[in-house]
Amino acid sequence: MQLPGPLLAKCFTAHRNASPGNGFLGMPRFYFHVDDGGHVIPDRDGFVLPDIRAVRAEAISAAGEMIRDLHRALTTSEWRMDVTNAAGQPVLTLRFSAEEH
């Protein structure tokens, strides 16, 4: 079972609204696009973060919240979070999945 796109978008938006410090001048902006294997939720706003360590921490935090909030919807599909820089170049991919045995 794949998660409906609107529910996935709602969860991701909730994480974004809870994240601190999203407007520091001079720091790069990164975009966290989520794909649940059937729906892609593009990140149109992005996050301003200082470096790749902060990008990785933010991706893991967002994925953790999504897994926690949507645990019943996670089945055998692989989920992916693709993080790009402002130029659209990939900087990080985070994959997560759940399998029932």
Domain ranges of the chain: 5-19+27-86
Burial 89-99 (b: 16+ CB within 10 A, else e): eebbebeeeee
pLDDT given for residue 25 in this prediction? 59
Highest mean pLDDT among 13-17, 52-56, 59-63, 74-78: 52-56
pLDDT, tens digit, 9 for 90 and up, residues 18-53: 454 445 557 899 999 988 777 888 999 998 999 999
Q: Taking 50 as the threshold, does the pLDDT of residue 17 lie above it?
A: no
